[in-house]
Each structure stands twice: as C-alpha cells, then as structure tokens.
Amino acid sequence: MRRISRTKDEETSYWLSYSDMMAGLLLCFVIIISITVLRSKVMYDQKQEELAGKEQELIIQSEELENERLTIEEQGAKLNAQELKLSEQEGKLLAQQKKLQEQSELLKELEQLMGEQQAKLDNIIGIRSELIEALKKEFEHSSLSIAVDENTGAISMDSNILFEYNKSTLKTGGKDFLGEFMPRYLKILLSPKYKKYISEIVIEGHTDTDGDYLSNLNLSQQRAYSVADYCVRGNSDFLTDREKEELEKVLSTVGKSFSEPILKSDGSVDADASRRVEIMFRLRDEEMIREMMEILNENSVR
C-alpha cells in the first residue's frame, strides 16, 4: 500500500517537476519573445524615425532641387533674353557698320566731288583773277574816271559823268564815255580767251539815300537800262554788229536803289559816290559751284 502510494507520489512529483520545467521554459520563451518584440518595436520605432528623417531630408532635398530647377529655368530664361538682346544688338551693330561703311563710301565720293569742284572753282578764280588783271592793265593809264574792284572785277562809273542829277537820260559826255569805255571793256571780256567763261554782264544802277526807296529803285533801273540801250542800239557805232550780238546774249540790267550806298570813313553816306553805275561780269557755274561747295562742306561736317 505504501509502495503504491510512494509510487504515486513519485509520479506526481515527476509530473510537477516536468510541468515546472515546461512552465519555466515557456516563461523563457515568453521573456525571449517579449524581449524580441520589444527590441523589434524599438528597432521599428528607430527605423520609423530614421525613415521620417530620411523622408524629411528627401522633402528638403526635393524642395532644394525644385528651387534649383526654378533657378535654372529663371537663369535659362534670362540667358535666352540676353541671347535675344545680344542678337538684336549684333543686328544693330551690323546695321550700324553697314551704315558707317555707306557713309564712309559717301564721304569718299563727296571728298572726290569736293576735290573736282574745288579744282573747277580754283580754275574759275584763276580766270577771274586773270580778267581783273587784264581790265586793270587796260584802264591803268586811261583818262576815264573808273575804278576796277580788286576782288570782283566790278567797274564803278560816276553817274555824274553819265547823267544829270535825278535824271536817267544819258548826257553827251556820258555817251562819249561809254563810246570809249565799252569797246575796250568788251575787247577783253568777249575775246576768244575769256568769252566761253562769261555767263553774264550786269549793269547795275545805284542811287544816294535821298528820297524814298521805290522812286530811287525806278531811277536806278532806268539809268541801268539807258546804258544798256545805248550800247546795243542799232545807231550806236562804237560797237560792231557782231559785238552787239555777243553782248545781247549775256547783258542784263538791275536797279539797286539805295540798298548798297558808299560810306565815308566816319560811317556817313557818301552821296556823290553812291550815285553810280557799275558794270560787272559773272562766270559760268561760279555761283553753282560755290553753293555746291557749301552744301558739300555742310554734309562733311555732319
């Protein structure tokens, strides 16, 4: 009986030890699993934090990349604008260079034309100087009361010799004066050497400042006309018919009234000297060349 009881006690003790061992083992598993789970949880949380940090870094990097992209796009737009502006400036520069080249070529042409016109003008000035010298030499020892202008070649004749005061009809002495003066004057101007250069022979009438302008204008015109009329009239015999024909081709008259009076040294009007008739010549193309030279000079300054 005791043996059976002892056997039962031994069996009970055995199973208790086994169950305790299993319980302990289970507890170990639970502890291990708990530790593993806790560690995994900690590691998971750490990974989550790391992932959150990485995600934040990625967001920041993405924002930085976006900002850089926008900056690059903005710089690209600026670069395109600069390239467009540079292209426009290059176009303007090419246009300016072309214009400058055209102006340079035009300037060369103008300089060449100026040189040609200057040569013509110098030739005309030379012809004028020769004519003036020839006229001075012709009348140098003459008894005629005339004066040859050193610069223009105009010859001034005292109207007191030609006309009575305030009259426009030639006096006998005036006719004699013209009869001696005109053949000698025209002998030079209408000579084969100079005739081709003469474009006009002008007779100008001038008065003093007494009276009104229009009355003096009429008087000066009539006096200039009287001189021209006497020179080319058919019954005057101091010029040949051929000389008259040649003179008619270039002769003109003009009245200046008192617009160009002769002044004394003190600035007052010299009435006797102002009452005069002037005869002058104009050369072909002279005025045109002078005007052209002025225009060319203006263009070269610009």
CATH number at residue 154: 3.30.1330.60
pLDDT score recorded for residue 184: 94
In a domain, 202, yes or no: yes
Q: Specify the pLDDT at position 268.
A: 93
Strand partners, 157: 146, 277
Quote the pLDDT of residue 293: 57
In this structure, is residue 176 part of a structural domain? Answer: yes
Asked, for residue 169, whether it belongs to a domain, the answer is yes
Range 229-254 burial, b when 16+ CB lie within 10 A, else e: ebbeeeeeebbeeebbebbeebbebe
Is 106 part of a structural domain of the chain? Answer: no
Instruction: Kindly state whether residue 274 falls inside one of the protein's structural domains.
Output: yes
8-state DSSP, 192: T
pLDDT of residue 301: 53
For the chain, residues with pLDDT lower than 70 are: 1-18, 117, 120-121, 123, 234-235, 286-302
Residue partners of 199: CB distance under 8 A and separation at least 6: 250, 282, 283, 284, 285, 286
Task: Return the number of other C-beta atoms located less than 10 Å from residue 177's C-beta.
Answer: 20
Tell whether 63 is covered by a domain: no
Q: Is residue 279 part of a domain?
A: yes
pLDDT of residue 18: 67
Does 183 reside within a domain?
A: yes
Tell me the C-alpha distance between 41 and 47, whole Å.
9
User: Would you state the pLDDT for residue 59?
Assistant: 87
pLDDT, position 105: 87
Compute and round to an integer the Cα radius of gyration of the chain.
61
Where would I find the beta strands (DSSP E) of the chain? 146-148, 155-158, 198-206, 251-255, 276-283
Distance of alpha carbon 274 from alpha carbon 159, whole angstroms: 9
Contact 232, 247 (CB under 8 A): yes
Domain region containing 220? 145-285
What is the tally of structural domains in the chain? 1
pLDDT at residue 284, as a whole number: 84
Predicted model pTM: 0.60
CB 120 within 8 A of CB 289: yes
Q: Hey, what amino acid is at 29?
A: F
Q: What is the pLDDT of residue 61?
A: 85
CA–CA separation, 189 and 281 (whole Å): 8
